[in-house]
Amino acid sequence: MPIDHTQPYDDSNIFARILRGELPNKTVLETEHSLAFHDINPLAPIHVLVIPKGAYVSWDDFSARASDAELADFSRAIGEVARQVGASAQGYRLLANAGKRAGQEVPHLHVHVFGGQPLGPMLAR
C-alpha cells in the first residue's frame, strides 16, 4: 500500500526494523551512515536497496534535514554499491519513489539500484 510521504517518520517500518537488527537482510555494503541490501522481491538480476541509517522518509526529507556527512556517505554508498555488484560496468538505473503517486511502499528513504539486464524505457506511459 503506497504511503503518504508527508507524514512524520514511522519507526515501525520494515527498513527501520532491519536497521535495528529485528529483521534479517542480505547486506551488500554497510558504512557509517548507510546500509545496502538485496531487495526481497528483485525486479531485475541486480536489485539492491540503499538506505540511510537516519530516520528519513523521502529524498526531500533527507536533503532538508541530513548532515553533510550523511549526505556524502549516502551518495558515495550508492556509487560504491553500483561498482561492487557489477552494475556500473554494464549500465544501471537509480530510482527513489516518494509518496503515494510514485508508489512508495516503505516510508524510509531508499534508492533502488537496478541492473543486469536492459532496463527499458524510463517510465511506462
Write down the catalytic residue from 33, 47, 108, 110: 110
C-alpha neighbours within 13 Å on the C-beta side of residue 105: 5
User: Is 47 noted as a catalytic residue in this protein?
Assistant: no
Task: Return the number of the residue (89 or 123) whose C-beta is nearest ligand 5GP.
Answer: 123
Residue bearing cell 540503499: 50
Residue list 77-106, contact with ligand 5GP (CB under 6 A) = 97, 103-106
Contact between 34 and ligand 5GP per CB under 6 A:
no
Position 109, amino acid: L
Task: Return the number of the residue (88 or 99) whose C-beta is nearest ligand 5GP.
Answer: 99
C-alpha neighbours within 13 Å on the C-beta side of residue 22: 8
The residues, ordered by sequence, that sit 6+ positions from 121 with a Cβ below 8 Å of its Cβ are none
Which residues of the shown chain bind ligand 5GP in the complex (CB under 6 A)? 14, 23, 25, 37, 39-41, 97, 103-106
